[in-house]
Amino acid sequence: MNTPTFLTGLSPLQSRLAEVCRSLAENENVFVSAKDVLSVIACDDGEMDEETFEEECEELSCDVKTIDHYNLESVGYLYRLLLQMGQPWRNRYPLIDLAGISGDFFDEQPFGPESVEVRYSKNANILFVEDKPPLLPISLLNGLILPDGSAVPSHHLEELWMGMEHLRQEPDLPLSELMEVIPGPDFGMGGIVGGFDEIYDFYKKGEAHLSVRGQIDTILDGGRTRVAIRSLPHGVLLKPVLQQINALQEKDTCPPFILKRNPDGTALNIIIDMGPQISADKLKTLLYQETDLEQTIHLRCGFKDNAGWMLEGPLITVLKEANTQCSTAWTQKNGTKLDYAPFIRDVIKFGKFKNPLYRLVDERRTTLLRSKPS
């Protein structure tokens, strides 16, 4: 069965797709055709003949369906699996870079594989050490939807990394202190998760149902009060949300909206004019209740896999085991590799150590509530 492993966050088939992306490129800066990657998997690794492969690619050039429409041996399934590894709304730190019309968070609708190029990403080049375990547990870093519908939430790289370092150096660290370093999940599309007590209970038990919301702000624009939808909950696409808002407008319960996006298509900004019939607070409540802007997600800190990972349960238990299995990549500043991880206090005090994970740290973060959403 093509199920993911906890440490890599990838199924064997996804790992092979990523490996082919890297091997076909002359260097880490070069993109390769998605079609060429699929040909290696389907024809060279598999038993598909060239004629069948071309026929299925031709079908994809006309229409790419969602992944659940394809059988596991089809080119369509392989293509969707490849694209998923590069979608920033699914992965906090995508392992594949995508170029071309590969779909976006509106409806994930791509062109066919001949129109898309792929590349083993900077994230993957740093996180995965050849012939060794990854530097961090990728399931907890990137997030993962499991076969039973539950999910492992993604986390901010610096927080996850430093949390593991603190636990390695202080194994009896209480959860309340660990949460000063890892305060909660961090999703690729932002959003709002919480509150604090709910996240604490989730990390303590290792499993919970948490509320995740899109961010909705009240703004004053040109002397008019408006509501701005800034982000979507994890796993929610924009198209169905717009359809739901349109349905509310047809019922005269929601004012008209304007959709604004950055030129690169990454930022979400839906501006809704406020009319006299509804206040900003009531409109926010309506949007959370009647659209997908609020979701309750069944989350887990870990899961058993077929590669030997047997731990599920509290976050601290999972991270302690991850510390024993993940690779380290500390070096001295002169480039000398270390066979141990230095203490954080020594890194801060002497500044003579470096780690490639620093290159992946960014400032984006999901908003965390201090109390449960009302």
Dig out the tokens for 196 from the structure: 């604090």
Q: Which residue has the tokens 């026929």?
A: 55
CATH code that applies to domain 12-123:
3.90.199.10
> What confidence tens digit (pLDDT) does each residue in 96-130 have?
999 999 999 999 999 999 999 999 999 999 999 98
Percent above pLDDT 70 for the chain: 96
Q: Residue 276 has what pLDDT? A: 75
Give the containing element (helix H, strand E) for 78: helix 75-84
Residues 246, 270 contacting (CB under 8 angstroms): no
Is a pLDDT exceeding 80 seen at residue 325? Answer: yes
Give the containing element (helix H, strand E) for 332: strand 331-332
Is a pLDDT exceeding 60 seen at residue 314? Answer: yes
Q: Residue 245 has what pLDDT? A: 94
Give the containing element (helix H, strand E) for 246: helix 238-250
List all residues 6 or more positions away from 98 whose beta carbon is below 8 Å from its beta carbon: 83, 86, 87, 116, 117, 118
Residues 363 and 160: their CA atoms lie apart, in Å, by 14
pLDDT band at 262; cut points 50, 70, 90: low
Q: Residue 208 has what pLDDT? A: 97
Residues 231 and 154: their CA atoms lie apart, in Å, by 16
CA 285 to chain centre: 27
> What confidence tens digit (pLDDT) does each residue in 134-158 have?
999 999 999 999 989 999 999 999 9
Q: Which residue has the tokens 């993109």?
A: 31
Radius of gyration of the chain, Cα coordinates, nearest whole angstrom: 22
**DSSP letter at 4?**
P
Residues 88, 190 contacting (CB under 8 angstroms): no
| Same fold? 12-123, 215-292 | no
pLDDT band at 220; cut points 50, 70, 90: confident
CATH of 215-292, one of 3.40.640.10, 3.40.50.12160, 3.30.1360.40, 2.60.200.20: 3.30.1360.40
Prediction pTM value: 0.92
Neighbouring-strand partners of residue 270: 229, 259
pLDDT band at 77; cut points 50, 70, 90: very high
For the chain, the structural domain boundaries read: 12-123, 138-211+298-369, 215-292
Question: Longest C-alpha distance within the chain, in Å?
Answer: 67
Residues 34, 24 contacting (CB under 8 angstroms): no
